[in-house]
Structures are given as structure tokens and as C-alpha cells.
Amino acid sequence: MDSLSPVDELIDADDTLVDNEDQFFIPAVLLMSLNYLWRHREDWFFSGNMGIYHITGSNPCIPVVPNAFLSIGVDRRKDRKSRRNYVIWTEDNIPPIFTLELVSHKPGGEYDSKMAIYARLGVLYYVIYNPEFWQRDGHDPFEVYKLVDGAYQRQSGEPCWMPEIGLGIGRDRLIDDPFDREVLTWYDARGQRYRSEAEVERDRAAAERQRAATEAQRAAQAEQRADRLAARLRELGIDPEAGEAVD
């Protein structure tokens, strides 16, 4: 590896501009969810639109840049710093286990050239999300492929469970989104969508408000019962405070 360029000299990506906001937004949604789900783990790295440098192509200085990728078994923060890029030969030769491509107005080789690159890299799961141009491309809006014996095989079902990762992936509407956007999100083995941190906190706050309201209602009911009992005792000529008969 001595002949390879120093990491600091490698560009951050491939200088190709993304052509719609979803190519930033959807990876960000997945990352924020993963930050919460795996908040106690330090053995993973997820990024979007970052260059992956590898030696399986014609030139190790030319990266492949998925819209998002996940690696497991690497430091969450390399040398306690943020990565500028993902250089496989400095990551114990651990390739991503998952890559995501979002098809845009201009096809970018998602179904052929990039698929071939990820297969050579050994990326186990490859997801292609194509909600707008799937008919143009002759594909489905959401496709998941798994690398089997060096070739990608289309997986069935949605959400698609990925046991080697311990996550499923599928589509859903973004909760509390004024634009009602469809996004990709993580699922558990039962096919239930993982809730975001904001949803969990909102539900916890709602439960606490309900608990407080229930306790207040119980206290009010107890006070009403005490008042009725005191009134009844007075009718019987008993001072409820002294516990003695009233002359």
C-alpha cells in the first residue's frame, strides 16, 4: 500500500453534484435514526455522499460515491475525528456492508456500473431507491440486492430484513412532516418501523402528561369522597374533624 496516495491528498468525493435535495435528505434521515438506535455502539460508520477509496478499480485515487453507505466493525469516529472520506485500506480492509443509491434525473449507472463496483468491493446489501424514474428505467421504485457467490440477487418483500446487519429497510411516510414525504427507514425483524428519538420522546412526554392527569383526577375524586363523607357525618351530628357527636 506504500504506493497509494496519502489519505489527506484524496478528494472528499468525486466532484459530481447531486441533483435533488432527497440525495442529502434521505441519507440524513437514516443516519439520525441510526444514531439513536445504535447510540451505545462504537463499531459502525454511516455516511452519505462520501467517497469510498478502494483498490478493486483501475485507479485507487478514483472513489465510488454512493448516496449512503454503512460499515460495521470500524470505529465510529476514526482517531476520534470526523472522516473526510472512507479509505478501505486504512479501515482494516473492511468494505461497506450496505450501500444506497438514489436514482435521479440523469441515470448514474445504478443498475449496471455501480452495481458491478459494489460487487467487486464485496458490499453485501445494495439498495436502489427510484421513486420518480422507475418506469423510465424499467425497474421497481425500491429494490434490494444481496451479494451471493459474487453476484447480486434481488430480494423479495418489504421491508427487507438484513440479518447480517440486524436491521430491515423499507419505505414509509415521514412522521409529522408538513410535506408528507416518503423516506427510507429502518425496521426490526418483525417488520415494525423503528421510531425516531423525537417520536419516543414525544410518546414519553404524552405518557407523563397522562399519568399526571390521572393522578390529579384521582386526587380530586378522593377529595370529593372526603367532602361527601364529612357532609354525611355532619348530618348525623358528628364533627368530622373532632370525631365527636355535635350537641
Domain ranges in the chain are 7-194, 201-245
* H/E stretch holding 35: helix 22-37
128-146: average pLDDT: 96
Q: What is the DSSP letter of 97?
A: S
73-87: average pLDDT: 93
How far apart CA 47 and CA 44 sit, in angstroms, is 10
Q: At what angle do helices 22-37 and 197-235 cross, to 10 degrees?
A: 60
What sign results for the dihedral spanned by CA atoms 71, 73, 76, 81?
Answer: negative
178 exposed, middle or buried (CB, 10 Å; 0-12, 13-18, 19+)?
exposed
Q: Is pLDDT of 141 > 80?
A: yes
Please tell me the predicted confidence (pLDDT) of residue 234.
84
How far apart CA 7 and CA 51 sit, in angstroms, is 12
161-214: per-residue pLDDT in tens?
999 999 999 999 988 888 889 999 999 999 999 987 777 666 676 667 777 667
* H/E stretch holding 171: strand 167-173
How far apart CA 170 and CA 143 sit, in angstroms, is 9
142-149: average pLDDT: 98
At the topology level, CATH places domain 7-194 in: tt1808, chain A (3.90.1570)
Q: What is the DSSP letter of 44?
A: E
67-92: average pLDDT: 94
What residues pair up with 239 in beta bridges, in sequence order?
Answer: 244
224 exposed, middle or buried (CB, 10 Å; 0-12, 13-18, 19+)?
exposed
Q: Which residues of 73-110 are buried (b: 16+ CB within 10 A; e: fewer)?
A: ebbeebeeeebebbbbebbeeebbbbbbbbbbeeebeb
Amino acid present at 13:
A
> Would you place residue 119 in the very low, low, confident or very high pLDDT band (cuts 50, 70, 90)?
very high
Q: Are 120 and 56 in contact (CB under 8 A)?
A: yes
